Amino acid sequence: MSTVETPREVRAQAKYVRISPRKARLVAEHIRGRSVPEARAVLRFTSREAAGELEKVLQSAVSNAEANHGIAEDRLYISAAYVDGGPVMKRWRARARGRVARIRKRTCHITVRLTERPQPVVATPAPAAVEPAAEEAPKPKRKPAAKKATTAKKTPAKKKASAK
């Protein structure tokens, strides 16, 4: 009976972040599936405001992994990074002719889930018997296909005279 070790998973979440979820999702897509050092480099050079918030959440998740499970940062990768919508603050702005326009100040919840990379299994190569007939024989070269001669001549299209 063989046992399969499930990879350990660590999660960190930031709630009520004052960024639109749609804008934060654009940055979250960049780091999904990457290793932690690679994701940090991507976030450092991303010029969006959401990159700073995602970097804080990523740092929190890495700290959780090191403190609670003893997993090194180099062995972690981002298995999931997603942004959910939070509550919306509604404000009002005066407009022309006594009207009012609604302003929505959106918030979001950012979640980053890290998973440990599985240990590399070192397999000993089995000695394989190589037979001379089993080796690949060189394939014979094919002649290039002959080009077909075209007999139809192309005639230039006649231009219509423009009337003034």
pLDDT of residue 6: 72
CB 76 within 8 A of CB 62: yes
What type of residue sits at position 87?
P
Distance CA 28, CA 1 (A): 40
Instruction: DSSP for 47-63, please give it.
Output: -SHHHHHHHHHHHHHHH
pLDDT of residue 117: 87
Better-scored residue on pLDDT, 132 or 139: 139
CB 43 within 8 A of CB 78: no
Does the predicted model carry a pTM greater than 0.85? Answer: no
Over residues 11-30, mean pLDDT: 96
Indicate the pLDDT class of residue 153, thresholds 50, 70 and 90. Answer: low
Per-residue pLDDT tens digits for 68-123: 999 999 999 999 999 999 999 999 999 999 999 999 999 999 999 999 987 766 66
Over 90: is that where the pLDDT of 132 sits?
no
CB 31 within 8 A of CB 43: yes
Over 90: is that where the pLDDT of 13 sits?
yes
Longest dimension (CA), the chain: 93
